[in-house]
C-alpha cells in the first residue's frame, strides 16, 4: 500500500515537472518569436522611412544578400543589403554599413540608394556617441541626417563630401566634428561601394 502511494506521488511529481518544463519551454519559444517579430517590425518601419512601402513590391526580408568590404563598409563582417524591386525591376538597395571611427566607436547606419545612385535616405541604427554632443546624428535629436536625401557622388562632387570644417558642405556640430565627419565618410563610402557593385547586388 505504502509502495503504491509512493509510486503514485513520484508519478505525479514527474508529470508536473514535465508539464512545468514544457510550459516554460513553450512560453520561451512564444516570447522569442514575439521578440523576433517585434524586431522585424521595427526594422521594417526604419527601412520604410527610407524607402516608402509603395515604392517596391517584394519582401525585403527574403530578398536580401550579404556583402563584405571592410574599406567601404566599415567592418570586416558581412553586411546585409536589402534589395527593393518593383515588378521584378531593381528600385533601390538599403545597405547596413558602419562608420568605424565615431568618437566612441562604431556607428551603425541604414543607407538607402536608388538604382540611379541617389540617396533615398540615411538613418542611424546604433551608436555610443556622447549625448548632447555627438547624438545630433539621430533624427529624434535633429534633422541633420535628412540632408543626405537625394545626394549622390555628383552632388556634391567627390572632394566636397566632407564636413565644412574639412572644406566640404556638411555641417558639423558645435564642439563635435568627429561624429559627423565619421558619418559623412561612411555615407560617401556606401555610395562608392554601390557604384562599383550595383550589378552584383541586384543579380
Ligand X SMILES: Cc1cc2nc3c(=O)[nH]c(=O)nc-3n(C[C@H](O)[C@H](O)[C@H](O)COP(=O)(O)O)c2cc1C
Q: Which residues bind ligand X (CB under 6 A)?
A: 103, 129-130, 133-134, 172, 175-179
Neighbours of 76 (CB within 10 A): 10
Contacts of 133 (CB under 8 A, 6+ apart): 103, 173, 175, 176, 179
Nearer to ligand X, 114 or 172 (CB): 172
In the complex, minimum distance from the CB of residue 182 to ligand X, in angstroms, rounded to a whole number: 8
What is the greatest pairwise CA distance in the chain? 93
In the complex with ligand X, which residue's Cβ is closer, 63 or 166? Answer: 166
Comparing CB distances to ligand X, the nearer of 49 and 138 is 138
Phi-psi region of 125 (alpha: psi -120 to 50; beta: other; left: phi over 0): alpha
Closest distance of CB 199 from ligand X, Å:
36
Q: DSSP strand E in 33-88: where?
A: 64-67, 79-86
- Closer CB to ligand X, residue 69 or residue 177? 177
| Residue of minimal Cβ distance to ligand X | 134
CB of 177 to ligand X, least distance (A): 3
Kind plus residue range of the DSSP H or E element containing 94: strand 89-95
Burial label, 197 (beta-carbon count in 10 A; 0-12, 13-18, 19+): middle
CB of 105 to ligand X, least distance (A): 10
Of 64 and 133, CB closest to ligand X:
133
Shortest reach from residue 173's CB to ligand X, in Å: 7
For residue 165, the minimal CB distance to ligand X (Å) is 6
Rank residues 94 and 178 by Cβ distance to ligand X and give the closer one. Answer: 178
* Nearest Cα residue to 128 out of 104, 149, 111, 148: 104
d(CA 52, CA 46): 10
Amino acid at each position: 500500500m505504502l509502495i503504491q502511494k509512493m509510486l503514485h506521488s513520484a508519478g505525479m511529481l514527474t508529470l508536473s515537472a514535465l508539464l512545468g518544463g514544457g510550459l516554460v519551454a513553450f512560453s520561451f519559444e512564444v516570447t522569442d518569436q514575439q521578440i523576433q517579430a517585434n524586431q522585424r517590425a521595427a526594422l521594417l518601419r526604419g527601412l520604410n522611412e527610407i524607402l516608402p512601402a509603395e515604392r517596391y513590391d517584394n519582401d525585403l526580408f527574403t530578398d536580401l544578400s550579404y556583402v563584405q568590404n571592410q574599406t567601404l563598409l566599415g567592418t570586416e563582417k558581412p553586411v546585409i543589403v536589402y534589395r527593393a524591386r518593383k515588378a521584378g525591376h531593381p528600385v533601390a538597395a538599403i545597405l547596413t554599413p558602419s562608420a568605424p571611427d565615431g568618437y566612441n566607436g562604431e556607428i551603425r547606419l541604414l543607407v538607402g540608394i536608388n538604382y540611379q545612385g541617389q540617396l533615398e535616405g540615411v538613418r542611424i541604427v546604433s551608436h555610443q556617441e556622447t549625448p548632447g554632443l555627438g547624438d545630433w546624428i539621430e533624427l529624434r535629436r535633429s534633422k541633420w541626417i535628412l540632408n543626405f536625401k537625394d545626394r549622390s557622388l555628383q552632388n556634391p562632387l567627390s572632394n566636397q563630401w566632407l564636413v565644412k570644417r574639412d572644406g566640404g558642405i556638411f555641417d558639423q556640430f558645435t564642439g563635435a566634428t568627429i561624429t559627423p565627419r565619421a558619418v559623412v565618410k561612411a555615407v560617401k563610402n556606401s555610395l562608392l561601394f554601390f557604384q562599383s557593385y550595383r550589378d552584383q547586388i541586384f543579380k
